[in-house]
Amino acid sequence: MTAQQMSSFASHDTGTLYLVPTPIGNLDDMTFRAVKTLKTVDLIAAEDTRNTQKLLNHFEIETKQISFHEHNTQARIPELLARLEQGESIAQVSDAGMPSISDPGKELVKAAIEAGIPVVPLPGANAALTALIASGIEPQPFMFYGFLPRKASEQKAALTALAEEPQAVIFYESPYRVAKTLTTIRDIFGERQAVLARELTKKFEEFIRGSLSELIDYASAGARGEFVIIVAPGEKKAKAPSDVPVATQVQTRIDAGARPNDAIKAVAKENGLKRQQVYNAFHGIQEES
């Protein structure tokens, strides 16, 4: 038994922090256990109390709420921990889906674990996995990325680091940026198969499957609703050694926005070289013979 497991068993008189998923568009996806938990805890820590109140009204849940969102996380944690330590149980919910998944929650979870408070996750709705299982893209292995950074240079750097990943990559994106983001993905990943999962669990649920270029055409015509983007892994090419010097390959990636270390790592992997060899070539350092 680990020290952490022992600490959570030891703290019988504290409350429990429950992590409760909520529907991502279809109220029928609320689980019996989620309703029961929200009814029986002392307090619900909600990302948006007005939004969660509608859910509580629907399921006739009368538990009190407290707001817990990205702008008051640090201020709220001591108060929530104190209540948990005094024996109150708290359920944390976000506006939709799983807490902590591109939503508030993770800092509270860490703080509760450190304080030896039991943390109990409930399974339930989540947009990424719901999209993945019907995407038709090889589901394992996959990487969940969530929202890319908004700043163009950071977005390009993140995508450059992901480009060599031999697995499906799942992104969240707002409808206002989906066409532009798909275009940047294609610019950096090259043409690939991909899926847009739109309005999951809702009336107009739709899966748009095709090449990145086809999805860009679709999204450019006016994308509405909520979207998950899943990009298939690139084709594994039997690579002939590149004629382009590795130093130039590194510079090209840096020019596209990659951080030097990420660029060196990717070029080393692509060329079957050690990182140090690529580092030396890039910095003009002579290898010792």
**Interface segment toward ligand SAM; rule CB under 6 A; list 53-61, 98-106, 209-217, 277-285:** 98-106
Q: Does 103 bind ligand SAM (CB under 6 A)?
A: yes
**Interface segment toward ligand SAM; rule CB under 6 A; list 4-12, 30-38, 151-159, 171-179:** 171-179
Placement of tokens 């509405």 in the chain? 224
Q: Does 173 bind ligand SAM (CB under 6 A)?
A: yes
From 197, 215, 263, 264, residue interacting with ligand SAM (rule: CB under 6 A): 197
HEC assignment per residue over 229-281: EEECCCCCCCCCCCCCCHHHHHHHHHHCCCCHHHHHHHHHHHHCCCHHHHHHH
Q: Does 101 bind ligand SAM (CB under 6 A)?
A: yes
Q: Which two tokens stand for residue 70?
A: 């990205």
* 146, 101 Cβ separation under 8 angstroms: yes
Q: Does 105 bind ligand SAM (CB under 6 A)?
A: no
Q: 170 or 232, CB closer to ligand SAM?
A: 170
C-beta atoms surrounding 155 within 10 Å: 20
Q: Which two tokens stand for residue 145?
A: 């990325």
Q: Does 29 bind ligand SAM (CB under 6 A)?
A: no
Report in angstroms how near the CB of residue 70 gets to ligand SAM at its nearest: 10
Q: Does 104 bind ligand SAM (CB under 6 A)?
A: no
- Residue nearest ligand SAM (C-beta atom): 97
Q: Which residues pair with 45 in a beta bridge?
A: 66, 92
Q: Look at residues 116, 131, 59 and name the one whose alpha carbon lies nearest to residue 93.
A: 59
Using CB under 6 A, list all residues that contact ligand SAM: 24-25, 94, 96-98, 101-103, 126-128, 172-174, 197, 199-202, 226-228
